[in-house]
Every structure is written in C-alpha cells, then in structure tokens.
Structure 1
Amino acid sequence: MAIVSPLNSNSDGLFHAFTDNASEDTVAKKSVKLRKCTLISWAIIILLVSIVFITTIALLLVWNAKCQAKITAIEKRDTYCDLGVCNNKFRVPPLIVISLDGFRSSYLSQNITPAIQRLISCGTHSKYLLPSFPSKTFPNHYTIATGLYPAWSGIVDNQFYDPNFNEFFKKNVTRSGWFLGEPIWSTVKRAGLKSGVYFWPGSEGIVLDNLPTYWKTYNFTVPFTQRIDSAIEWLKLPEGERPSLVQIYFEQPDVAGHSGGPESEEVRTAMILMDGMINYLTKKLIREGLMGCVNLILLSDHGMQKIVKSRSVVTGNNLSSKFNDMFFPGVVARIQVNENGNKDVDEMISNMACKRGTDYLIYKKDLVPIRFHYAGSARIGDVIFKGRPEVCVFLTDQQKNDYKLLGDHGYDNRIVSMRAIFVAIGPDIAEKREIDDFQNIELYNLFAYLLRIDAAPNNGTNGTLFSVLRNPPPIPETISSEPSLQCTKLSSLTKCNTSLDCSRITDVYRNCSQVMQSSVGFTEDFIGEHCNLPFCDALIHFNQESQQTVMVEGILRKSTWRLEPKKTCMTYFDEIPSIHSCETARSENFTSISLFANIGLRFPFGYYLSSYGDLLFFSGPIYDKDGDGVRDEIDIRESHDFISTAQPSHIFFVLMRCRNGQLIAANNLCKDIISLPYILPIHGENLNCLKPSEYLNDNTVRLRDIELLTGTQFFTDRNIWSAAEAIQLRTSLPEITY
C-alpha cells in the first residue's frame, strides 16, 4: 500500500479552499463592521449637526433677547427722560430756580436721590459747582442772584458790620443800601416782566427801590409742599400776571448737616426728603402740562464740612491785651477795628502770625489772595482768619463752649467739601450732557439769557455757560481787531557783555532766524497804546502811553534757565533808549539776574522745569491798589500821578505745558494745554510762614483774573482753540498745583 504525502494530496486545494472560506467570513465581518461604522458616523454627524443647530438657535435666541432687552432699555430710557409735555403757550419759557441749601456735591454718590438723578441723567449737569468765598448761605445766594462776588454785592458774610450805617447786618433786614448790585428779580422787572420769589435770601431787601413782584416773608415753618404749590399757582396765572422767573429756597439738607454733620443719618434723611420734594415738583409740573414748558435749574449754595471741636482755635489769649475791637467768630473769622480801637494791626496779630497754616491762615485785608475777590469793602474788616477744614475760630472760650454744630461751611471755596451742585433741564437746555465745573458768579448771565433779557454788569464772563444750552449762540469776542505793533523795527541782536566765554550760548540765540510771536491778545478796553519787543524765545509787551511793561511772554528752557546772564550771552536791542539798555551789564564785574526770571520764582520754575521740561511762561506787574480784583482805571492812576510814579501792588506769572508732554515751541502751541496761574503780592510778608509750594497754591488764580487786571486775553488763536474751549480754559480755577 502506497503512502500518500499530504503535500501530494491536493494540499494546495485544501489550502485554497480554507483560504477562500476564510476570506468570505472576513469580508462578511468587515462588511458588518463597515455598516456599523457608517451608522455610527452618520449618528455622530447628525448629532453634531443637531448640536450646531441647537446651539445656533440658542445663540439666536440669546442675541434676540439681548436686542429686545436693549430695545426695551432704550424705550424705558426714552420714557424715563420723556418730561417734555407742554400744554401751555409761553412766548419765553419761564425759568424756575430751586435752591437746596447745603447740598454737598458728594452727597449724590450715596444713590438715594432718584428724582434728582433723573434730572441729572436727562438734562445738563456740572461736575460740581464752586461757591464764592466765604462759602456761606446769604453771601452765596445773593451772589447767585446778582453774579457779583460777596465783596461787590455787599453781603460779605451772614453777619457783619457796616461802618457807614453804624449798624450790624441782620438776615431779615429790609432797609435799602444793604444789598448792592442788581439781583435777577430786579433785572426781570427792568425788562417789564414779573417774578415770584419764595424765601430766597436777599429777596426781602429793597434793591433799586423795588422787590420781586410776588414774594414771601421768610418763615421756616412753611411746609415744603406748600412752597411748591404756590410756585405752580404763580405759573398758572393769566399771561399778564404770570411771573417769568420763579425762585424757591429750601433749608435742607443744610439744617441736618449743621446738627449732625455731613456723614450723619440726619443728612441721609434730609436728602431723601428733598429728593421727594423734587419728585413732587416734577410730577406736579407734568400733571399741569408745564414740565416741557419751563427751564428748571436745581442748585445749591455750598457744601458741608465736619467740625472737630478739639481743633478749635481761641484767639483771645494771643491778641493784644487791650483788644476791644469787633470779632466775628466762625470757620472764617474777622476782626473789624473800631474807631477807638488798636490801629496797629501788625501789633494786634503779631502772636497769631507764622503758625504755618496748621489750623488757620491769617490775612490782613490788603493781602487776601486775589482768587477770593474778598477785598475792597469796608464791611469785611481788617483781619481775616481762614480756618482749615474741621476748624472753627473763636475769640473766647465761652464762644467755643456755646458752639454746638457738628457740621459747618464758609471755608476756602476750592476745597472738596464746599462743592455744590448744578442741574438744569428744559426746552432750552442741552440733553444728557455733563459740563466742567464753574463758579456761581456765572449763573446770573445764564438766567438772563434764558429769560431773553439784558444782564446788568456783573463779575461773570458772558458765554461761560453757553455749554448748558441746547442751541448756544456764538461766544462774544472782546479782542481788539488792531494788531500789535513792534516798538522798534526788527534789529540784529547784540550780546550784553564783553565776555569772550560764550561757549555755552545755545543755538536758539546763535541761530535766531525768527523771533517769537505773541500768543495773547489785548482787549478793546486796554488802557494805553500797546506794542511789543520780540526776541528769539521771548516777547515783551509794552505800554507806550504809560511807559510801563505789561507782560513778558516766553519759553523757559530747562537747559539754560539757571545760567548766569553773561554766560548765556543775553541780548538787547540797539535802538531801545539807553535807560532801558544793557550798558551796565557790559561790565565784566556786574552781576545780574535774567531779564525773564526772578529769584522769588526760582522754586516753582525749577520744580516744574525738572518735572516737565521746557515751559511757556507769562509774567508781569499788576496795579490793584484798592484790592477789588479789577485793574485800576486810568482816571484813578492820573489822580495819584500814577503814570509816572505808581508802583505795582502784585506780580503775576503763568506756567503752561502740553498735557501729552510734548514741548511747547515758539509759534507752535498745543491744543490740550495745562496752565497754572499765580498772582502774588509784592509788598508785605508771608504772615503764615507757609512753605513755598503751599504759599503758591494759596495764591493760584483763574487766567480770567489776570486778564481783568492787565487788559489781556489768553488762548486767542482760533486755529487752535475754539471760543468755547478758550473760555473754559480762561475761567476755570485750578484745583491743585501740577
């Protein structure tokens, strides 16, 4: 029997058969897997599409909801500010002015006054309102009514003595002569219109032989709602009897601030009460169809400061033992010398001076900082004590013990706690606008403009508050159209000495291809005949009529300002008369200081130059012998042989820099500019022995103050600053130093 090998037993066929069967199974299995994968893939795709679809739908729903929310918010906002209902006809919208006594601007941050906030959101408001000094009730309400500083309006304090009347002022006084100037209700009468005034301080006093058309004798017990109701009734009178101006005064939250202090629960309660009164007023105006007919202004006269009784100052022990003069205590205290009193004021206050301003600052009447405009009135007195925040000044311990207030006001009008509020709304008022801060002397002009009547002369600057208006007119320009002439023809510059060591002369002086052009103008009422002397980086403004320098304008350079004149090769004009030339400076042994600097100004100049680099500066003399903040008129000068012999009473200087840090170059000023103006008294010592920085800070002013004292005007280039921008820069009071 033969043995058959497996290899010869059709092994290949078995192999192939096995392989074929295996392949079929594999294919089947793969097919199943493929179908499963396909199903899974489709499931995943469907799932992803579903997720995308659902997500898209969700996002669309969210987006739509947000859009609806925005639309709803806008609709609500429009309803929120829809206060323009007017069902009455007025030729000119009546003006309503509401005063909330002692409403400090920071009170608004407590968010408990929704009715006031509604007016703020929908109308125009300022960042804050600056009161006038002293920041007290009667002076500031009458300043608001007249546009005059307290020293000009006659109401220099809540209590004072008039040596001409030989009487003390009382708040309920009605005698003619106490209230000066022209209050807005008298201006209204002069224009043939009528006014209704409810308790406004000063409205009961006879001014210009008249009173408001409708007025009330002050009675603090009259409910606030009754005051509002009476004002509404006035507005509902027939046209021939209806007042064009309505003013209402409320004592709160001032009363609460005095009794409990500015951070007390009493003040919060009073704020809620007064917000309720504003809500009552607006709702009643809306109900009567008047809200859209009237221009409504809500303001306050000053803020409120916490009092710390332990810091009180009692002056009696430091004054002369024979002191028998009048002393008016308070956060601003005053001494008024009697006819038979101590006439030597320096001796009287010698022990009170040089206290470095820890608790108070003391001024003689002719050395009060110009920015207060608190001079020129016999009612002010001879010595002024300006308490620091929290401090009250008394004559005796008994006065101190009798003083029970936890809050008070009257302090420096620039401190934060004295800031007041200003809000306006109406058909003539811009909507949803915030404007910069301003001082309350500007309000009278706004009142007159809104009433379409001519304002009386006042201390405000016409146009300052045109930014409040919905359709403001052009701001009036007061610059003379005649260009300034050069005092001499343009001459070559010659060095003032014979020193051969001119190695440190700068390229500015060596390669002076053009002279500096002026960046200030002169007003139409400038006294005299103006001309200028141009240099490479400075300009002298000169009055040919009085033969006096008006102003020096130039650039202070960080690199050269401290160098001695002979080392910088200072220059002069050959054609200037010899009395003004540099002849004496040509001597090698002569020592002098720069033509454009002063040893007293080296501290601020050095500090600002080191901090900010080159600065534009202005400096010059001021003649203000009577201390009223307005330059002496030519007839006053001539009556004292002023032109030939008068000496300046103050010196001013202004430093300017660009906010973005770019250097200020001649003829290339920047738009966004920061200025720091000062007016310093020339005669008289620093009674308070303040540090230079503190002394300068106390004597900062508005640029407008310098303009009024020199007949000049800043920021006149309309290619750089609009009239609106310029007037804001000129009238703002610096808060602090740089």
Structure 2
Amino acid sequence: MMPIRKLLTLAALMALGACTSTDTGRETASTPAEEPIVLMIGVDGLTADALDLFEAPNMQALAARGIRPEGMIPVMPTKTFTNFYSIATGLYPEDHGMINNRPFDRELNEGFVNPMSAQDSRWWAGEPIWITAERQGLPTSIMFWLGSEVEFAGDRPTRWTPYEHNKPYEERVEEVLAWFDGPQELRPRFAAVYFDLVDTIGHRTGANTPEVGEAVATVDRHIGDILAGLEARGLLERTNIIIVSDHGMATNPEDQVIHFDQWVDLDTVYVPEVEGRSGNGFHPFVNVYGEAEAIDAAYQALQGAHPHMRAWKRGEMPDHFRFDHPTRGPDLFILADPGWTMTARDLPMGSPWRSVGEHGYENTHPLMHAGFIAAGPAFPDGARPELFENINVYLLIACILDLEPAETEGDPAVVSALTGGRCEVE
C-alpha cells in the first residue's frame, strides 16, 4: 500500500463548534470539527455538460464554491455497474471483475443475475472505499451503491441498504439525514447515496431532451434538501460533497441499427447480451465467447463489415479498455459507434421496448464523459480542473479522510490537481 499524506489541517480551514443547537431544537453532531466528512452522491447518467444545458441551482452553486472539472472519463465499457464500482474501488474492470451490468464468467459458467448476485461475493473483487474506511475505524453509511450489499472478508458498511428501485427520493433524503442524527459511533464519516432518474429518463427520451432537464431539476432539488439538512445540523461547512456520474448518453435513431449476426454464427458462440436472461435487444456492444476457431471466423468476417462497428479479439484490445478480466473478459468484443446499436436479426426480441438513449460506447468519446462536482474544505473555490479518469475518486476520498488506501490504479497527481494541492498522496 502507498503511504498517504492528507489535507492541510481542516481546523485551519473551518471555524465550527463541536456541538450547537438549531432553531428546530435538534442537537447537531458533536464530531470534532477537524474531522472531515465525505458524502458522495451518485447521479446516474449526469453528463459532463449537464450543468451547461439545464437549470440545476444547487449543483451549480456547489460548482461555484467548489470544483467542476471538464468531465470525468468512465472506464470501459461505459455502463453503470462497471463505472460506479470502479469509482468505489479505484480499479479498472479487469481487476474488480464487474466488466458490464451482467457479466458472464466462463470459469463459473454462469452469468450475473440481479438481485441475487448483488450479494454474492464471488462477483465483486477489490476493496471499496467504505470497506477501507470501516477497517480503519471510520463508520460508513451506504444507500444503493454498487457493491455495498456484499460482505468483504467479514466486513460491511456500518449501515447498508438492499437496492429498492422505487424507493421515493424524499425517503432517501430523510434516511440519509437521519444517519447523522444517530448515536455518535454510528454517524458516518463517509456516506453515499444513489439516484437513477436522469439515466432512466435519458434512456426513454434520448440525450439532452427537455425531459432529461426536468429529471436533472428533480434530482437537484433533492440534493438541495440534503444540503439544507446538513446545514441545519451544523455539518455542511466540514462536509465534502462529491457528486459523481457513471457515464454520458447518446441518442440512437431507429434506423441506425446493425444486425451483427450477419457476420457472427450464433450457433457456434455464446453472446450474453442477446441470448441471456433478458433476451435479444439493442446494444452498443456485445461480448462473444467461444472456441478459437469460431472466434477467428467471426473476427475475420467482421473486419470492415460495417463503417460504424469495430471488433477486437481477446488480448488484442486497445490498452485503455482495461476490462480483459481473466475469467470474464470476452473472447471477442464488438463495439458500435455512438448513435448506433447492434441486435441479432435472426433471434426473437426479448422485449419490444427500445432505448432511445444509450451508453456503453467508447469511453474517450465526449458523449460518454460523466459529470463531476465537488465542494467542501478539500476543494478550491470555482476551479475547473482538466478531464480525469474516474478511478481516481477512491484515492481522492481516502486522502480527504486520511485513510491508508488499498492498492488502486489512481494517480496521486490527479488527487492533488482536484484539490488544488490541499490533498497530497506520496
């Protein structure tokens, strides 16, 4: 593990009392003011340019008093499970194992199935930031973050919540704030909560639609409620708020569909995306598993087959892909360009519903870049750092909380840049 050197003394940055009362009569938390808190808020599908396109007064105010980088580069493929777990662990998918939303493991000969696999430790490798914190004596509370339902060698968050997709956002906010009202030993030094709405609406309507703007406004309002609750508890000034997203979004016209099974003999290979539990659909990429002869035949047939589709064999993918997991990485990976999707013409559709907006495309494409906003004593005012990879978020949080990090693939120089030199890792 690398040694870590943390924030400049927070006591010099803040002048908070250890325990005060609000006009509601509620006693505020009594954690010493020099001990920072980190609250990470996951906003699924919040694009890097969302705050330029839509009204989001609470997030925009956070950016004004904190930082809003040009964007955050997701890992490949640009899917939700893959990226929120990379954010949590600081690892690429080739190491943490969550190579897409429903990975297939050739050694286990089975696929990831929600919700059962969410609590099956075989699928989840690495050390999430909440486990690092718990192992070093800091209580954590997590709501709906990928990997938070899993036990890691006997360790869990102090509080964790099985995923409830339809849990009202008002209840989520109330529960998050209640974490800070409990017994001192349970009050989180690291907390995280997840909101799906922006992504859900983006899939239904496409990227950057007025409906997406309404979804951004809804989530922003609830973030405002969290901020107000923290302020009422006397905690806001020493809480580092980190808002992260997992990916961007692209709109997919109905006529931009590639029937990839023209070149891939589905009788000789296994493609989880079109033959698995959900059945055939429209996808930005497909993973192909099979014997060498069948894979070679498919690969050769795909070369130059369509101007908006590319394919790579196992071991020959671009260096920045980093999802070639030993037992889950595909033997052949086929990727469409943003705005295009792939389906199997000769298989029945698993569902008549088609996503208008989609992600999962090349992570270097600007349409896939994710939003990031952070404010608090660890961050300079109004800064716009450069684009950075999301694997650096784990190390950033570890530095703020003065934790000895697990092995990650984050870059200490990025942590320094994001914090304006306030937080240094050696």
Q: Same fold (TM over 0.5)?
A: yes
The residue type paired with residue 176 of structure 1 is: S
| Cα distance in structure 1, aligned partners of 2:362 and 2:238 | 38
Match of 2:94 in 1: 151
2:289 to 315, 336, 341: 336
Q: Secondary structure at the match of 1:434?
A: coil
Describe how 1:114-193 pairs up with structure 2 within 5 A: 114-172=57-115, 173=117, 174-193=119-138
**Distance of aligned partners of 1:104 and 1:84 in 2 relative to their CA distance in 1, 3 Å threshold:** farther
- Which blocks of at least 5 consecutive residues in structure 2 are unaligned? 1-13, 21-28, 275-282
| Cα distance in structure 1, aligned partners of 2:397 and 2:424 | 17
The residue type paired with residue 426 of structure 1 is: G
1:417 aligns with 2:367: yes
Q: Secondary structure at the match of 2:211?
A: helix
| Cα distance in structure 2, aligned partners of 1:445 and 1:162 | 28
Query: Cα offset for 1:124?
Result: 1.6
The residue type paired with residue 138 of structure 2 is: L
Match of 1:269 in 2: 214
1:445 aligns with 2:395: yes
Query: Cα offset for 1:90?
Result: 2.7
Describe how 1:277-296 pairs up with structure 2 within 5 A: 277-296=222-241
Q: Does structure 2 retain, via aligned residues, the 8 Å contact 1:160–1:328?
A: no
Describe how 1:208-357 pairs up with structure 2 within 5 A: 208-320=153-265, 322-329=267-274, 330-337=283-290, 343-355=293-305
Q: Does structure 2 retain, via aligned residues, the 8 Å contact 1:85–1:286?
A: no
| Cα distance in structure 1, aligned partners of 2:205 and 2:54 | 20
| Cα distance in structure 2, aligned partners of 1:206 and 1:165 | 20
Describe how 1:716-731 pairs up with structure 2 within 5 A: none
**Distance of aligned partners of 1:469 and 1:351 in 2 relative to their CA distance in 1, 3 Å threshold:** closer
Describe how 1:498-509 pairs up with structure 2 within 5 A: none
Match of 1:362 in 2: 311
| Cα distance in structure 2, aligned partners of 1:268 and 1:415 | 22
Report 1 or 2 for greater relative contact order, CA contacts < 8 Å, sequence distance ≥ 6. 2
Q: Does structure 1 retain, via aligned residues, the 8 Å contact 2:97–2:325?
A: no
Q: Does structure 1 retain, via aligned residues, the 8 Å contact 2:324–2:330?
A: no
1:175-226 CA distances to partner (integer Å, 9 max, x unpaired)?
A: 1221001011111111122110001122112333332110111111111121
Aligned pairs, how many?
Answer: 390
1:387 aligns with 2:336: yes
**Distance of aligned partners of 1:136 and 1:321 in 2 relative to their CA distance in 1, 3 Å threshold:** closer
Q: Does structure 2 retain, via aligned residues, the 8 Å contact 1:102–1:301?
A: yes
Q: Does structure 2 retain, via aligned residues, the 8 Å contact 1:130–1:438?
A: yes
| Cα distance in structure 2, aligned partners of 1:322 and 1:252 | 38
Match of 2:31 in 1: 90
Q: Does structure 2 retain, via aligned residues, the 8 Å contact 1:442–1:460?
A: yes
The residue type paired with residue 190 of structure 2 is: L
| Cα distance in structure 2, aligned partners of 1:271 and 1:351 | 43
1:430-487 CA distances to partner (integer Å, 9 max, x unpaired)?
A: 22222111000011000111111110001112232112336625563xxxxxxxxxxx
Query: Cα offset for 1:389?
Result: 0.8
Greater radius of gyration (CA): 1
The residue type paired with residue 260 of structure 2 is: T
Q: Does structure 1 retain, via aligned residues, the 8 Å contact 2:399–2:423?
A: no
Query: Cα offset for 1:342?
Result: 6.2
**Distance of aligned partners of 1:84 and 1:104 in 2 relative to their CA distance in 1, 3 Å threshold:** farther
Q: Does structure 2 retain, via aligned residues, the 8 Å contact 1:327–1:334?
A: yes
Give the stretch that moved more between structures: 421-430 or 252-261.
Answer: 421-430
Describe how 1:605-620 pairs up with structure 2 within 5 A: none
Q: Secondary structure at the match of 1:404?
A: coil
| Cα distance in structure 2, aligned partners of 1:321 and 1:467 | 48
**Distance of aligned partners of 1:282 and 1:322 in 2 relative to their CA distance in 1, 3 Å threshold:** closer
Q: Secondary structure at the match of 1:124?
A: coil
Query: Cα offset for 1:309?
Result: 2.5
Q: Secondary structure at the match of 2:68?
A: strand
RMSD of Structure 2 on Structure 1 (CA)? 2.1
Q: Does structure 1 retain, via aligned residues, the 8 Å contact 2:230–2:236?
A: yes
**Distance of aligned partners of 1:439 and 1:471 in 2 relative to their CA distance in 1, 3 Å threshold:** closer
| Cα distance in structure 2, aligned partners of 1:327 and 1:258 | 21
| Cα distance in structure 2, aligned partners of 1:325 and 1:261 | 30
**Distance of aligned partners of 1:113 and 1:105 in 2 relative to their CA distance in 1, 3 Å threshold:** same
Q: Does structure 2 retain, via aligned residues, the 8 Å contact 1:103–1:303?
A: yes
- Which blocks of at least 5 consecutive residues in structure 1 are unaligned? 1-82, 477-738
Q: Secondary structure at the match of 1:197?
A: strand
Query: Cα offset for 1:283?
Result: 1.5
